[in-house]
Structures are given as C-alpha cells and as structure tokens.
Amino acid sequence: MGRYSGHGGTHTKKKQYKRARSTKNRAKDIDQIFDEIQPETIDKFSKFEVDPDLPGMGQNYCIHCSKHFVTNEDLQSHIKGKPHKIRVKELKTKPYSLAESQIPVDNGVKLNRDANGVPTTTDVTGTIKKSTTTTTTTTTV
C-alpha cells in the first residue's frame, strides 16, 4: 500500500537550511591540504597573525587537519587523537590528480566481432584472426 502523494511533507523546509549549514562548515579537502603542506607553501600556512575572529586568536592551528583550536592544550590533545593520526596517514600519499584521470587505460587485446557475432582479434601486425572456438555437445542415453 502506497502513501499519498503530497507536497513533500514537513521536512522539505529543512533542506535548504541543512544544505547551507553543511557548505558553510565544510572542511578543506585532502588535495587542498596536501598543497598547503608542501615545502614551498608551508611557511604561508604555518604562522598566522593575531585574529580575534578565529578560535584562540588564530595561534593554535593544526596544519594537517586545517583546524584552529582555542588553547595549546586542546591542540596537543588533538595531535594525540585518532582523527589527526588518520589525517596524517592520508596525507602521506599523493592525492589523485586530474592529469592522472585523463591517462588512457590499456586493457589488453581488443576483441572485435564480425557480422555473425564471432569474435575476431587483431594481433600486433594488424592482421585479423578469427576465433576458432567450437562447442561440442554430447548426449547420453
């Protein structure tokens, strides 16, 4: 038995609010953080000026997690924690880039089919060979 088709119920008003909250509080992606911790750019992101809008005046910052902390004790307890250790482990490998995704993949020998649906293979020299697979059926009485 199905439900009545209505106007979306009472939860549709929450969608835009939740979407706005999730994008506002979104953390940086792994590839962005990986670019920040490279030796040529680490000086820019390791030291911050005093900013009263940031937690802890912007002085207690975890580079790997891209988070500001209120006190140095909070930062030290964060560094000992599991989420930080997982993030450090993720950042040890180079992230998947756009250039890597555009590299063509070679999956081996190409199978082509003729008009009858019989597979034909092309060898290295470019000559076409027909497959000679036959099926035999046996009947037992």
Q: What is the pLDDT of residues 44-103, one digit of tens each?
A: 877 788 888 888 888 898 999 989 899 999 999 999 999 999 999 999 998 888 888 888
Which residue, among 82, 88, 52, 89, has the nearest Cα to 70 in the 3D structure? 52
Residue 140 identity:
T
pLDDT at residue 28 greater than cutoff 90:
no
Give the domain ranges of the chain.
Answer: 13-101
Residue 120 identity:
T
pTM assigned to the model: 0.56
Residue 122 bridge partners (DSSP): 128
